[in-house]
Amino acid sequence: MSVNAHRSARPGLPLLLAATALLASACSSLNNATNSLAGMVSPYRVEVVQGNFVSREQVEALQPGMSREQVREILGTPLVTSLFHANRWEYVFTIKRANEAPQTRKLTVFFENDVLQRHEGDPMPSETEFVASLGKRTAPGKVPPLEATEAQLARFPAPAHAAASEPAGADAAEPSPATPSYPPLESSLR
């Protein structure tokens, strides 16, 4: 078989190679476009808040000699209690937010014979400081003016029922509002 006969047996081979190269370059550019689009869109991440928030004011209210009930009234129910460590309560608070490091605060209170002996833990923020830290992540946007000019208000005619309810003169008596009548809430059969 001659070289020409061999080439005529596969006439579409150069065309097939060119089409394959074109397809590969198209997939590459499509992949780049997809990656750049995925980089612009970020998934929604839920804020996760777990545990009991304990403020500085609550910690300052603790006094040695308080009963467990008094401590529970001030701090709330502890997040962790253990049968093996019945004389201590753990208060743990964690908040996880998107694009921020998780914040964790811990407080441990120690009892002896159901009486508060001491407490130890992380420095706690005041309630005001904690609320202010929650609002930091929202950037203030431009607030549009919330006032309409007379020209803007003139574009909207007054509703017909509003014009009918206005008194014709200064001596017109205002109608008294009707007292609504409701059915009884309970049946009178007892």
Structure tokens at 154: 């003139």
Q: Where are the alpha helices (DSSP H) in 41-80?
A: 56-61, 68-75
Read off the pLDDT of each residue in 173-190 and give the average, rounded to a whole number.
Answer: 66
Is there a contact between 109 and 65 (Cβ–Cβ < 8 Å)? no
Looking at residue 149, its amino acid is T
| Structural tokens at position 142 | 């431009």
Give the type of residue at 151.
A
Q: What is the pLDDT of residue 7?
A: 52
Give CATH for domain 48-135.
3.30.1450.10
Q: What is the average pLDDT across 110-135? A: 88
**33-77: pLDDT as tens digits:** 667 766 666 677 788 888 888 999 999 999 999 999 999 999 998
User: pTM of the entire structure?
Assistant: 0.49
For residue 58, the model assigns a pLDDT of 93
Between 20 and 64, residue with greater pLDDT: 64
Q: pLDDT at position 108, please? A: 93
Cross-strand pairs, 51: 93
Calculate what percentage of the chain has a pLDDT beyond 70.
67
User: What does pLDDT average to over the chain?
Assistant: 77
Q: What is the pLDDT of residue 129?
A: 85
Note the pLDDT of residue 131: 81
Decide if 94 contacts 104 (C-beta within 8 A). yes
Whose tokens are 């550019």? That residue is: 29
Asked if 81 and 92 touch (Cβ cutoff 8 Å), the reply is: no
Question: With 80 as the cut, is the pLDDT of residue 103 above it?
Answer: yes
Q: Which residue has the higher pLDDT, 37 or 91?
A: 91
Dihedral angle of Cα 124, 125, 130, 132, to the nearest 10 degrees: -160
Nearest in space to 108 (alpha carbons), one of 141, 59, 156? 59
pLDDT of residue 16: 77
List of E strands, 43-133 = 48-51, 88-96, 103-112, 115-121
- Could you give the CA distance from residue 78 to residue 108 in angstroms, rounded to a whole number? 9
Q: Looking at the predicted structure, is the pLDDT value of residue 117 above 80?
A: yes
Residue ranges of domains in the chain: 48-135
